[in-house]
Amino acid sequence: MSVTTRYTDTPPAPDEDQVSPIARKISDIVLARPLSPGWLAALALALALTLVFAVAIVYLIATGIGIWGNNVPVVWAFDITNYVWWIAIGMAGTFISAALLLTRQVWRTSINRFAEAMTVFAVIIAGLFPILHLGRPWFFYWLAPYPNIMSLWPQWRSPLVWDFWAILSYLILSILFWYMGLIPDLAVLRDRARRRAAQIIYGLLALGWRGEARHWQCYETAYRLLAGLAVPLVFSVHSEVALAFSAGNTPGWHSTIFPPFFIAAALFSGFAMALTIAVPLRSVFGLKAYITDQHLDNIAKVTLACGLVVAYSYLVEIFNAFYSADHYDIYTTLNRLQGPYAWVYWSMLLCNVAVPQALWFGRVRRNAAALLIISIIINLGMWLERFMLIVTSLHRDFLPSSWDMFYPTVWDWAILAGSLGFFGLLMLLFVRALPAISMFEMRKLEAEREEGKP
C-alpha cells in the first residue's frame, strides 16, 4: 500500500468515491432528492386533512363534545376507539426496535428507524384523544400532580391516572430512543450537507457527534439499556390501556384477559401498520436493497403470529362469557354476535381472523402488493375491533330504559380522517427530513458481513 502524506493546507481531493454507498443512498433522499410531484400531492392531501383535523378540534373545544354522536349510555365512542387504535400502532415501533435489538435480530436494522418514527407520531396523536374527550380539555393538566390552590391531588388508584403516566413515560422514552438512534446519522447528514442551513440544523441536532471509540462504547451501553427499558414499558402501557376498561364492571370489559389480549392486538396492528408504511416507502424511494422481501416476509410472519393470539382471545372472550354464567356477560356477547352492531363484529372477524390467514402462504408474504392490501385490511379490522369493544358494551347497559344507539356525526369522521392526515403529514415530512433507515447500523452490518467473508 502506498503511503501518501498531505498537509492541512493542501485542498482536500474530491473523495466522493469513498462515501459509503449506504450513507450516500439514504442521506441523498434527505439532502439531494428533488421534490417529486407524487410526494407533493401526498403532502397536499395530508395538509388538507390536517387542516380538517385542526378545524374539528377548534370547533370541538369551542362547542363541546355534543358535536359528536356520543350520548348517555355510549359515552365513549370514536374518541376512545381512535385513542386505543393509535396507541396500539404506537406499540410496535419501539417493540420492533428494542426487542429485536436485544434478541440480536439483524433484520431489524432496515426497519427500526421508520418504525420508531411511526411510534412517536402515533403516540402523539393517541395522546390527543383522551384530552379531547375530556369535555373541558383545557383542564387536562389537572391529571399532573402539582401543588395547586384547590389543594387537590390526582386519584392515584384510578387506571385513568395510570394511563396518563404510562403514555407520558412511553412518549418520552420513545422520543429518546428514536433521537438517540438518530444522533450518529444526523452527524452524517451534517457532514454530507452542502447548503449552509442544512449544515447548521443537522449540526445542531447531531450535538457535535464525532464517532470517538469511547463515545461509541457509552452510546451502545446507553442504547441497549434504553431498549431493555422500552420492552417492559411497551407491555405496561398497553396493559394499562386495557385496565382502563377491565377495572370497570361493564359487561364485555370486566375481564382479566384484557391486558394480554390488548398487547397481542397492539402488536398485531402495529406490525400491520409497519407493513403499510414499509411497502410504499421502499418502492417510492428505491430502498428495496435495504428493506428486502425477506424483511417484509419476517414482518408478515410476526403479524400472523400476533393475529393468531388475537383470534384466540376472541374465542376465549366468548367462552368466558358463557362459562361465567353471568346474565349480563352472556347478553353482551350475544348482542355482539347478533345485535344491531353484529355487522361490526363479523366484519372484524373477517378482517382480523379470516384475511390474515393468507399470510400462511410464502407466495403471499413475498408479494408486496398483497401485503399492503392485507395490512390495510388488518388496520381497518383493528379499528372496528376497538369500536366493537367500546360501543357494544356501552349501548345496552344494565338499564334497558337507557339503551341507545350510537351514530357518528360528520365531526366524528372529521377527527378520524384528520388524525390519519396528520399522521401522514408527519410521516411524509419525516422521510424527507431525517434518514428513514439507520445508516450507521446498516454500515456496521455490511462491514461485519464483509469481514465474515473468507
| Residue pair 33/426 in contact by the 8 Å Cβ criterion | no
Judged by beta carbon, residue 101 or residue 230, the one nearer another protein is 230
Least distance from C-beta 13 to another protein, angstroms? 8
Judged by beta carbon, residue 40 or residue 180, the one nearer another protein is 180
| Residue pair 114/244 in contact by the 8 Å Cβ criterion | no
The Cα-based distances of 214 to 114, 183, 222, 439, 445 in angstroms read 28, 15, 12, 20, 20
Judged by beta carbon, residue 259 or residue 270, the one nearer another protein is 259
Least distance from C-beta 434 to another protein, angstroms? 15
Least distance from C-beta 82 to another protein, angstroms? 23
For residue 65, what is the DSSP state? Answer: G
The grid cell for 198 is 442544512
Sign, CA torsion 125/88/175/289: negative
Least distance from C-beta 178 to another protein, angstroms? 11
Judged by beta carbon, residue 87 or residue 187, the one nearer another protein is 187
Judged by beta carbon, residue 122 or residue 187, the one nearer another protein is 187
Least distance from C-beta 11 to another protein, angstroms? 8
The Cα-based distances of 228 to 66, 68, 100 in angstroms read 44, 41, 11
Residue 416 and residue 125: Cα distance in Å, rounded?
11
Least distance from C-beta 265 to another protein, angstroms? 20
Least distance from C-beta 266 to another protein, angstroms? 17
The Cα-based distances of 101 to 112, 228, 231, 428, 440 in angstroms read 9, 9, 10, 26, 14
Least distance from C-beta 224 to another protein, angstroms? 9
Judged by beta carbon, residue 148 or residue 402, the one nearer another protein is 148
Region of 325 please: left (phi>0), alpha (psi -120 to 50) or beta. left
Judged by beta carbon, residue 29 or residue 378, the one nearer another protein is 29
| Residue pair 281/287 in contact by the 8 Å Cβ criterion | yes
Judged by beta carbon, residue 15 or residue 400, the one nearer another protein is 15
Burial (0-12, 13-18, 19+ Cβ within 10 Å), 278: buried
| Residue pair 287/436 in contact by the 8 Å Cβ criterion | yes
Judged by beta carbon, residue 9 or residue 369, the one nearer another protein is 9
Judged by beta carbon, residue 186 or residue 302, the one nearer another protein is 186
The grid cell for 18 is 469513498
233-236 long-range contacts, CB within 8 A, separation 24+: 233/94, 233/166, 233/169, 233/170, 233/173, 234/91, 234/94, 234/95, 234/98, 234/99, 234/170, 234/263, 235/263, 236/166
Find cell 462504547 and name the residue. 217
Least distance from C-beta 230 to another protein, angstroms? 8
Render the burial of 382-397: b for 16+ CB within 10 Å, e for the rest.
bbbbbbbbbbbbbbbb
Least distance from C-beta 58 to another protein, angstroms? 31
